[in-house]
Structure 1
Amino acid sequence: MAQTDDAHDPRPPGGGATPAIPTLEELQHWTWVMGRAQQMMMEQGIAAMRPPAEGVPAMPVVPGFNDPATIERARDFWSESMDLWRRFLDPSAAAPAPAAKPDKRFKAPGWQSPMFDLIRQSYALVGDHMLRGVDALEGVEPRQKEQLRFATRAFVDAMSPTNFPATNPEVIEKTIETKGENLLKGLQNMLADIGRGQLTHTQADAFQIGRDIAATPGQVVLRTPLYELIQYQPTTETVATTPIVIFPPWINRFYILDLSPEKSLIRWALDQGFTVFMVSWKSADATMADIAWDDYVAAQVEAIDTIRDLLDVPAVHSVGYCVAGTTLAATLAWLAARGEADKVASATFFTAQVDFSKAGDLLHFVDDEQLALIGTLSPEGFLDGRYLAATFNLLRGRDLIWNYVTNNYLLGKDYVPFDLLHWNGDVTNLPAKWHLSYLTDLYRDNLLVQPGALSIAGVPLDLRRVATPAYVQAGREDHIAPPESVWKLTELFQGPLRFVLAGSGHIAGVVNPPAAGKYQYWTNDTPAESLDAFVASATETKGSWWPDWATWLRHQDDATTPANGARIPGNGKLPALEAAPGSYVGTR
């Protein structure tokens, strides 16, 4: 990108007349203007602190308008604004700019030119003061302040100069270079997204389910109106006697755990000598309007019993990811209440919450107004998965919304093939009744941690009765299931428990194959009363936590058996119905 060598040349990328460099007299004049403005503000601040003259009534203090803290913040804003203009007009005479926070939105060289650097710094200054203003609010309930902070942050992200063609030097240069073809292509991308009602993140035809992703060999051995049960082909001559059954989130497609072969947790577990089953939930339609909490717990119990009977084993290793982990906790409590806890040899929780008091930004979407709105979005008895996709995108709007607005709408770039983002856009519909009760009973009212507050098939649930050995994984940077929220599960279960804090977030913290050599995880064999105490004395291990999990599973039961007979999909009591990944993963 062509740039001028003159530090004072505000010429925009792409050419154009260069504004005249200010003369010494002009610089002196503007320096005087700014100095006088700062002096006036200081005088006003001093006057405001003096008591009113005799006979003059004191002006009432209005919070947010003329209280001392607000006056001080306004003074700071104007002072910093003046400093910004002084640096723009006469960099040599001004105080150096504060170090800029790393922000990949402004990494293009064009942002270094004086004019666009001024735009960038002005945006940063305004955004910073808006967020500081929210933090300084008094007399506001903590939850309301968090909602204001979330909304303000979203607004600040939306108003970034990178999101508008006239204030983004990279877009201006691209538009000149292509004679506007980038904007036409971007418009085409935008209209296509409007037509499908969903933001595109990756090349639509880059991946095919069953060929590039969700391609681990296996067979569907059970199909119900709610789920398919997939049994995978063993890859070792002997396997662990106790099989693994994985319950993925019912708000997503299961193949997040079976992406490309080198990223697939399923394929890796098979290669470690485990028999693996996967539940593939059906995307909801009008026939599932009455599906509720009880049905998902019943489905998990049914899958467990089906596997036990098929392989003639007393118990299974169960895995619940995210919301399916929440349901798994309820399943364990239900089995414990019925005296059937021994059906599950162990339970593993991937970024799962049971206590929602610290559930993060998703709590902003569960007030009464939001819940009432959700109720109106499901006239046919199911919630369109695109609504959920938009909600999760909002949680990381800078990365999952505005990044694509800039790159694919304004710059007209081609979409990059990325299997994880393909999965992210492969939305799943939810039964409306169940979704609304989940948000109300768990996120809003936090009933699952209250003994007896929720029931399944008439059986009250009490998580404190769960003594099943548990492996609890959390993501250090998880914005959907924050680690401090996941940690609370350790305060409820009564059995032996291993907590692992993984590097990265809700997806990359889980989908982290050892061969990639990425991230790290923390363990701590000494009792800890809190997540902070756990971290303070934890041991960091580079790489994936998957091998640690496999070792833990073998410690629960190290018996093995030949990988033949019913261990081969379709060779046991249940015939093979269809090759993996089945039919439900493709329903919309």
Structure 2
Amino acid sequence: MTSTAPRPTQDRPRRRPVAAEQTEATEPASEAVMGLDMVLVDGARGPLRRMVPPARTVGRLGAALARKPDVVARRSGALVRELGGILRGSSEIAPNPKDRRFADPAWTGNPLLKRVMQAHIAAAQTAAELVEAADLDWQDDERIRFTLTNVVDALAPSNSLLNPLLWKAVIDTGGRNAVSGVRRMVSDLVSPPRVPSMVEPDAFAVGEDLAVTPGAVVLRTDVFELIQYRPTTERVRSVPLVIVPPTINKYYVTDLAPGRSIVEHYVSAGQQVFMISWRNPDERHAEWGLDAYGQAVLDAMDAAERITGSEQVALQGFCSGGIIQAMVLAHLAATGALDRVAASSYAVTVLDWSHAGTIGALMDENAVREATEKSRQKGYLDGATLAEVFAWLRPNDLVWNYWVNNYLQGKPPPAFDILYWNADTTRMTAGLHHDFIEVSIGNLLTKPGAATMLGSPVDLSAIDVDAYVTAGIADHLCPWQSCYRTTQLLGGRSRFVLSTAGHIASLVNPPSNPKASFQVAPSTPADPEEWLAAAGKEKGSWWPDFMAWLGERAGEEVPAPESLGSADFPVLVDAPGTYVFDK
């Protein structure tokens, strides 16, 4: 494993991070919702395997339509008549006003382009209507719809040489966009993830533009580094907050650019903050599973308690980090040590996978077995392949949008800090990959004692500490209803907050974002739709709301420490540490 030092800023232009409202635009609601287990399976097998549905599913679609010849004839006839209207110029078919692919006026002003666009939309609508009419069982229906969506998106005329943006770029650049576009395409295709780059590799530098909140590494183990952040207030809450970030990608999604950093906001509110920075593992660490990562959380808690002198900590887990956190809390409950935790928080975390999207439809036992065997042989799940999977979850926004920008127009992608973080991939150990799939496929966390953590049976209902649970209303990976069910699994009181936007934009939602808002209700009934009906909308970010909630549970205020670390945990290196640079 190698480390890369931060690069000096003088040899590259300073890039301004994308504004919050631009970030939200990159995460619209998806037609199909995917889950962590599906992502982990496809991460090993490759996302393009799902572009072609199983032969038996295609056979069932054909058989179902064969039994309804009148429906097929009616839909086909309607398509022929619509195409005739398109050729005559009398068709009123138009794209969705929010569809940015056809936003250029040439798509409606040029007769040829308008007809091509209308024909594409008409054919796509007819295909969707035929699938609807087939009335397949839910698994086959999801498989066909997922494939259909990807094929339709890929065949959109906006992705072709007809796109007016291409020809405008040819005129503006004298054809240089073609040379630049081909060069970018070749560069992207030679190594994973083989999708258009969403951000330039030198758009930002960790430790200079991102992850710059002052702090220091006060503990380093084989599995993680622990960062303690420097207080910026004269007094701080006595109970420290330990953040458990995702094990996919690096920790600094919680510490992006100044003004957009969750950690920076917490520290400015007087909260003592410790951050786990996971090591980027390789084949040497293949055996690390949930127990290894759970022990890491306990080690981080122990260090935070001893450094601050507190007998308790608060925990906040993000996405997959929240899964590990929940299992650790169950272990503490089983061993009589849950009083070490003053409060817990789960951000876009799914603990109940029973209805988490199209997961069951898009996977089978052979797929799961193949995925775990591939990572076992390699020793890890490659982060670049995971990035490819994430991109194909929303191809219009994360593949074809950049296809047009990078290749047809020959332009560099915009400098989005979230997308830079997303491209800074990490590997996942084969052991953790296997354990996550086993827990999620079997939905083990909903069954007391079905899973274990460090030898203790996991019973989430035994976790009776208060919990703050957040979700994104347009989250394509962790549906908000699935996140909501965490409130029903845990044994303590819960506050559920539904943020705007999608998976990441719902987290990176600073108070400076004028469009920020969230919904909250006074109670958490069993039915998420009942909660939604009772919820009121609050203007602004959920960050201050969480700080106020945690402030009631994080002890009395004490003088801020004058230095970081302690005699037992001396400062090793300034934040962001060394593990964050591992490639």
Q: 1:378 to 1:427 in 2, by over 3 A?
A: farther
Q: Is 1:181 the equivalent of 2:179? A: no
Distance 1:180 1:460 in 2: 64
1:433 Cα deviation after fit = 2.4
1:571 Cα deviation after fit = 4.4
Query: Identical aligned pairs, as a percentage?
Result: 35
Q: Is 1:157 the equivalent of 2:156? A: no
1:244 Cα deviation after fit = 0.6
Residue 410 of structure 2 is matched in structure 1 by: 412
Aligned length: 519
Residue 395 of structure 1 is matched in structure 2 by: 393
Alignment partner of 1:518: what SS? coil
Match for residue 293 of structure 1 among 290, 293, 303: 290
1:295 Cα deviation after fit = 0.9
Alignment partner of 2:141: what SS? helix
AA matched with 2:85:
R
Is the 1:110–1:170 contact (alpha carbons within 8 Å) kept by the matching residues of 2? no
Residue 258 of structure 2 is matched in structure 1 by: 261
Distance 2:362 2:92 in 1: 42
Distance 2:413 2:93 in 1: 36
Structure ID, larger Rg: 1
Matches within 5 A, 1:254-403: 254-361=251-358, 366-374=363-371, 375-376=373-374, 379-403=377-401
Matches within 5 A, 1:438-449: 438-439=436-437, 441-449=438-446
Q: 1:527 to 1:412 in 2, by over 3 A?
A: closer
Distance 1:497 1:209 in 2: 35
Match for residue 212 of structure 1 among 209, 214, 220: 209
Matches within 5 A, 1:112-261: 112=108, 113-138=110-135, 140-165=136-161, 167-175=162-170, 178-198=173-193, 199=195, 200-261=197-258
Match for residue 581 of structure 2 among 555, 570, 586: 586
Q: 1:205 to 1:327 in 2, by over 3 A?
A: same
Q: 1:191 to 1:149 in 2, by over 3 A?
A: same
Q: Is 1:72 the equivalent of 2:46? A: no
Q: Which string of whole-angstrom CA distances, capped at 9 and with x for unpartnered residues, describes residues 480-516 of structure 1?
A: 1000111111111111111111111111111111122
1:147 Cα deviation after fit = 2.4
Q: 1:100 to 1:302 in 2, by over 3 A?
A: closer
Residue 81 of structure 2 is matched in structure 1 by: 82
Q: 1:206 to 1:177 in 2, by over 3 A?
A: closer
Distance 1:203 1:515 in 2: 26
Higher relative contact order structure (alpha carbons within 8 Å, sequence separation ≥ 6): 2
1:365 Cα deviation after fit = 5.7
1:195 Cα deviation after fit = 2.6
Is the 1:244–1:318 contact (alpha carbons within 8 Å) kept by the matching residues of 2? yes
Distance 2:360 2:220 in 1: 34
Distance 2:126 2:316 in 1: 45
Distance 2:140 2:559 in 1: 58
Distance 2:263 2:363 in 1: 34
Alignment partner of 1:219: what SS? strand
Task: Please tell me the root mean square deviation across aligned C-alpha atoms, in Å.
Answer: 2.0
Is the 1:517–1:544 contact (alpha carbons within 8 Å) kept by the matching residues of 2? no
Q: Is 1:110 the equivalent of 2:67? A: no
Distance 1:62 1:511 in 2: 45
1:455 Cα deviation after fit = 1.2
Is the 2:240–2:554 contact (alpha carbons within 8 Å) kept by the matching residues of 1? no
Distance 2:95 2:387 in 1: 36
Distance 1:542 1:136 in 2: 42
Q: Is 1:529 the equivalent of 2:526? A: yes
Moved more, 72-81 or 181-190: 72-81
Unaligned runs of 5+ in 2: 1-60
1:275 Cα deviation after fit = 0.6
Q: Is 1:562 the equivalent of 2:559? A: yes
Distance 2:115 2:411 in 1: 26
Distance 1:96 1:398 in 2: 24
Alignment partner of 2:444: what SS? coil
Distance 1:143 1:65 in 2: 17
1:146 Cα deviation after fit = 1.6
Distance 2:169 2:203 in 1: 26
1:569 Cα deviation after fit = 1.4
AA matched with 1:345:
A
Q: Is 1:546 the equivalent of 2:547? A: no
Unaligned runs of 5+ in 1: 1-60
Alignment partner of 2:134: what SS? coil
1:164 Cα deviation after fit = 1.5
Residue 483 of structure 1 is matched in structure 2 by: 480
